[in-house]
């Protein structure tokens, strides 16, 4: 039963973890065999908790021998990404293959195009610099969340500059090569093994459009897209995803300078956003989420507005290719 406004607490998101794991594994197996007609799973492993959990779920559903973890680091991945991805795969007992995607990214001009775009707002940005894109927190007073680039010189000096719309789009378009190249390789392995590509978005990412279309947004099945991030952590603990992965803060691992998902996209810590999204989905007023999260009611109202704005933007990302006339056929 849905909680009333005075009852909402973080416990509203607690699941019977053992039961949820069994149900997801069962549905994943059925869907893959019956609907997709594939015999196993390919999972891109990032060293994060979402892909760590999905590897375990696939191992449970298909057996570890029919689950392949693909590790796809690149020159700007965090130093611990590859090791944590291996830890994740070993704990789940699944086979792995490592694909260093740096040469592919260099060949398509990923880094070069991005750096050129950054230089349009920060001319001094060059060789040896590291950068990331950030959004101001919604917890501050300003309502507009505008993207800035934060860069660090080789000497460690930090600069920040507001992006122009053109520069922002160029930077995003260039870095999206990373997610799209990874997905291309996952499908390569899926094709050669007759496996399905199993996606790793959680509910926050899926609902709010935090993925790249035809990149990490692409998959044959998405087994944890209905789970709030706190529930992902709960199930990850249940199945045995190692603590060092569960304790790693959520990161985009897309930019050279370390960047949390919060500063790039969500603007609010995920546990609070989870509760706000849950409250919003239950039709509860901002006051209820304020009580459960400890946020001011007016901050929750801004979060609610942001949730709806991101949903509107995500419509394009979720849309399949559209056809413009009926394709009815007999039989």
Q: Which residues sit at the interface with other proteins, rule CB under 8 A?
A: 135, 142-147, 162-166, 168-169, 305, 309, 312-313
Nearest to other proteins of 187, 304 (CB atom)? 304
CB of 169 to other proteins, least distance (A): 7
Q: Helix and strand tally (H, E) in the chain? A: 13, 7
| Tokens representing residue 225 in the block | 């897209």
Which residues, other chains included, contact 197 with Cβ-Cβ below 8 Å and sequence gap of 6+?
A: 41, 42, 183, 186, 187, 190, 218, 219, 220
In whole angstroms, how close is the CB of 144 to other proteins at the nearest point? 6
Q: DSSP letters of 118-133?
A: HHTT-TT--TT-EEEE
Q: How far is the CB of 323 from other proteins (least distance, A)?
A: 20
CB closer to other proteins out of 2 and 146:
146
Instruction: Considering the complex, state which of residue 162 and residue 226 has its C-beta at the smaller distance from other proteins.
Output: 162
Q: Which is nearer to other proteins, 309 or 318 (CB)?
A: 309
Smallest distance from other proteins to CB 168, Å = 6
Structure tokens at 71: 């590790």
Q: How far is CA 199 from CA 95, 187, 279, in A?
A: 17, 11, 26
* Choice between 133 and 275, CB closer to other proteins: 133
Question: Least separation, in Å, of the C-beta of 167 and other proteins?
Answer: 9
Kindly provide the residue ranges of all beta strands, DSSP E only, lying in the chain, ordered along the sequence: 41-45, 67-71, 95-98, 130-134, 148-152, 158-162, 196-197
């Amino acid at each position: 039963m849905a909680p009333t406004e005075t009852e909402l607490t973080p416990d509203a998101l607690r699941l019977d973890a053992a039961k949820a794991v069994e149900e997801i594994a069962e549905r994943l197996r059925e869907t893959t065999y019956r609907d997709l007609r594939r015999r196993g799973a390919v999972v891109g492993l990032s060293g994060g908790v979402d892909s760590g959990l999905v590897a375990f779920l696939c191992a449970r559903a298909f057996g570890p021998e029919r689950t392949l973890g693909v590790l796809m680091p690149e020159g700007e991945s965090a130093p611990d990404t590859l090791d944590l991805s291996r830890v994740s795969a070993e704990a789940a007992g699944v086979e792995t293959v490592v694909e260093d995607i740096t040469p592919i990214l260099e060949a398509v001009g990923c880094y070069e195009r991005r750096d050129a775009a950054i230089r349009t707002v920060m001319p001094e940005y060059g060789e040896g610099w590291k950068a990331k894109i950030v959004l101001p927190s919604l917890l501050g007073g300003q309502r507009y969340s505008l993207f800035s680039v934060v860069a660090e010189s080789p000497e460690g000096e930090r600069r920040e500059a507001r992006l122009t719309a053109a520069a922002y789009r160029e930077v995003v378009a260039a870095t999206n090569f990373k997610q799209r190249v990874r997905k291309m390789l996952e499908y390569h392995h899926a094709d050669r093994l007759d496996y399905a590509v199993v996606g790793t978005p959680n509910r926050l990412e899926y609902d709010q459009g935090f993925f790249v279309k035809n990149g990490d947004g692409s998959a044959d099945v998405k087994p944890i897209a209905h789970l709030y991030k706190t529930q992902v952590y709960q199930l990850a603990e249940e199945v045995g995803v190692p603590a060092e992965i569960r304790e790693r803060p959520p990161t985009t691992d897309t930019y050279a300078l370390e960047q949390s998902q919060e500063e790039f996209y969500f603007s609010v810590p995920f546990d609070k956003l989870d509760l706000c999204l849950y409250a919003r989905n239950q039709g509860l007023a901002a006051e209820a989420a304020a009580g459960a999260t400890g946020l001011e009611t007016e901050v929750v109202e801004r979060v609610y507005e942001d949730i709806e704005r991101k949903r509107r933007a995500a419509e394009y990302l979720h849309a399949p290719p559209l056809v413009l006339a009926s394709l009815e056929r007999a039989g």
